Amino acid sequence: MDQKAAAALGKTPEERLEAAMKKDPLLSSETRGAKRISEAATYANYQLISTQGIGENWASVGDAFGFVDPMLSPGMMLALHSAELLDEQLSTKALEDALQVYSTKMTESLNAWRDLIDYFYDGRIFELHDRGSEFQTKFPFLPLGFIETFMNTNMSGMASGFTTAEPWSRGVLKYAERFVLGNTPYRSCYAIA
């Protein structure tokens, strides 16, 4: 939840948690009569992508280069990928070129993961699914099942890490967002622990 939205819910973490639970219809019905028994904890965005992951005769790998929200568990995969990518570049290019290519590819990969996770946290991924379902309900005579299968395959490839940074997969998601969501508002997804 961004800081502006959080501030609108209250001044303290406890106020914000209780306001969010009352404001959301599902949470309010599920937590009716509930009593908080601990402090409400908050944390800021802890995602990090290094602005300089390489230098003269050195390179950062794994979380030292960058890390993204663990919601989809990319940590170990990205750490191993970074080591593999660095080895691949060092074995095929001069040191300076290898480090630069490695840095560019790792930054692209981390940005791709961060973009994908943003789709989950801000609710776009769920809104895309809901609007697709609504369209199928509205036009049951159209054979649209193949689109759902296609999108599910694309999303599972991205969420598993196999196609997260692939231009095609990222393009499919951006195309769907542009033409399905357009400029209409979508529901935000709030994570409350």
Which pairs from 39-46 meet CB under 8 Å and 24+ separation?
Answer: 39/13, 39/14, 40/12, 40/13, 40/14, 40/16, 41/13, 41/193, 42/6, 42/13, 42/16
If you average pLDDT over every residue of the chain, what do you get?
86
122 contacts 191 by C-beta, under 8 angstroms: no
Q: How far apart are CA 71 and CA 80, in angstroms?
A: 18
Distance linking the first and last C-alpha atoms of the chain: 12
Q: What is the pLDDT of residue 99?
A: 95
Q: Check whether 163 has a pLDDT greater than 60.
A: yes
pLDDT of res. 190: 44
Residue 84's pLDDT is 95
pLDDT, mean of residues 111-127: 88
Q: Give the mean pLDDT of 12-24.
A: 89
Determine the average pLDDT of the residues in 128-138.
87
- Is residue 65 within 8 A of residue 53, CB to CB? The reply is yes
pLDDT over 70 (residue 185):
no
pLDDT digits (tens, 9 = 90+) for 34-77: 888 888 877 666 678 888 999 998 999 998 999 887 777 788 88
What is the C-alpha to C-alpha distance for residues 81 and 107, in angstroms, rounded to an integer? 12
